[in-house]
Amino acid sequence: MSTIWARERAESHPKEQPKLHLKHVTRLFQTPNGPLTALDDISLNVAEGEFLCLVGPSGCGKSTLLNLMAGLDRPTEGEIWKDGERLDGPATDHIMIFQELGLFPWLTVRENVEFGLRMRGVAKPERQARAREYLRLVHLSHFERSYIHQLSGGMKQRVALARALATDPAVLLMDEPFAALDAQTRDRLHEELERIWTETRKTIVFVTHNVREAVRLGDRVVVLTFRPGRIKTALTVKLPRPRHLEDPHLALVARDLLVQLKEEISRSAKEEYRDEESG
């Protein structure tokens, strides 16, 4: 076992009750070409306050898995438990952040952050105070009156993050939130997200295609296989925080994971090629 990473069973987290517990989760979809097994027998624990990263090739079921964790979709087989209770509907204290963000262009930055609170019936003065607090946390206080189109991509991401955090979710589910950003902006957002996570100790499940990003952020990194999505590897990253993308130790851990990911990407490419040949 290395001092900077350790391979382990994805469901192992011995001491406490996990925040999320996935037990033999399978998700089948009916498609015009017949049934498709998007996820197959996923058993996985997410500990309270853990930062878990999910990596896998396109189409391996990452978004499907996040939807299941949010309670927005149900497994075909298997069970999902949250805080020791079976999850069988949308989890109101889980919140998703998508790559497309879903910010409202007709609302100001602050109104966007207030939106979730308004939906929950929080009174205006408290809403405004909380929105300001979270805009401070993501360093956007000066832009509270701006509209979304007046912001850069990185700033929009921070608004989405502030909006999600303002509702004080127990679990933050992030689906490739930084994929469309340039490297410098992403770097800065990694720092901010790590700082916010350290301050708030939210449980975070973060999906990415990028292995280095996963090692930069995650306490653990889980690699999924391509179709059906199964757990290929689960790795605990033991590098101290704050971490830096340029750290050679980080690159070393990422390299091992990249080999695993590349195997799956080449499987997915072969399958597409075969589909085209037979189609």
Binding site for ligand ATP (CB under 6 A): 29, 31, 36, 38, 56, 58-64
Nearest-approach distance from CB 108 to ligand ATP, in angstroms? 30
Q: How far is the CB of 224 from ligand ATP (least distance, A)?
A: 7
Strand order in the sheet with 20-31: 34-46, 20-31, 77-82, 85-86
Tell me the closest approach of the beta carbon of residue 174 to Mg ion, in angstroms.
11
* Contacting Mg ion within 131-150 (CB under 5 A): none
| Residue 63 binding Mg ion, by CB under 5 A | yes
Q: Please choose which of ligand ATP, Mg ion, none residue 162 contacts, taking the beta carbon within 5 to 8 angstroms, the exact cut-off set by kind.
A: none
Closer CB to ligand ATP, residue 76 or residue 141? Answer: 76
Q: Which is nearer to ligand ATP, 42 or 162 (CB)?
A: 42
| Cα gap 49→202, rounded to integer Å | 5
Closest separation between CB of residue 102 and ligand ATP, Å? 16
Q: Is 123 left (phi over 0), alpha (psi -120 to 50) or beta?
A: beta
From the list Mg ion, ligand ATP, none, pick the one residue 45 interacts with, judged by a Cβ distance below 5 to 8 Å according to partner type: none
Q: Which two tokens stand for residue 118?
A: 């308004």
Residue 61 or 116: which CB sits closer to ligand ATP?
Answer: 61
C-beta closer to ligand ATP: residue 28 or 47? 28
Determine how many CB atoms are found less than 10 A away from the CB of residue 143. Answer: 18
* C-alpha–C-alpha distance, residues 217 and 241, integer Å: 9
* Residue 61's binding partner out of ligand ATP, Mg ion, none, with CB under 5 to 8 Å set by partner kind: ligand ATP
Smallest separation, CB 96 to Mg ion (Å): 11
Residue 131 to residue 162: CA distance in whole angstroms: 8
Closest CB 80 distance from ligand ATP, rounded Å: 15
Q: Which partner in ligand ATP, Mg ion, none is near 177 (CB below 5 to 8 A by kind)? A: none
The whole-angstrom separation of Cα 222 and Cα 231 is: 7
The gap between the terminal CA atoms of the chain, to the nearest Å, is 46
CA atoms within 13 A on the CB side of 8: 18
Q: CB under 5 to 8 A by kind: which of Mg ion, ligand ATP, none does 56 bind?
A: ligand ATP
User: d(Cα 123, Cα 127) in Å, to the nearest integer?
Assistant: 6
210 binds Mg ion (CB under 5 A): no
The full DSSP string for 18-72 is PSEEEEEEEEEEEETTEEEEEEEEEEEEE-TT-EEEEE--TTSSHHHHHHHHHTS
| CB of 248 or CB of 279, closer to ligand ATP | 279
Tell me the number of residues near Mg ion by CB under 5 A: 2
Bridge partner residues of 52 (DSSP): 205, 220
Q: Which of 56, 116 has the CB closer to ligand ATP?
A: 56
| Contact residues: Mg ion, CB under 5 A | 62-63
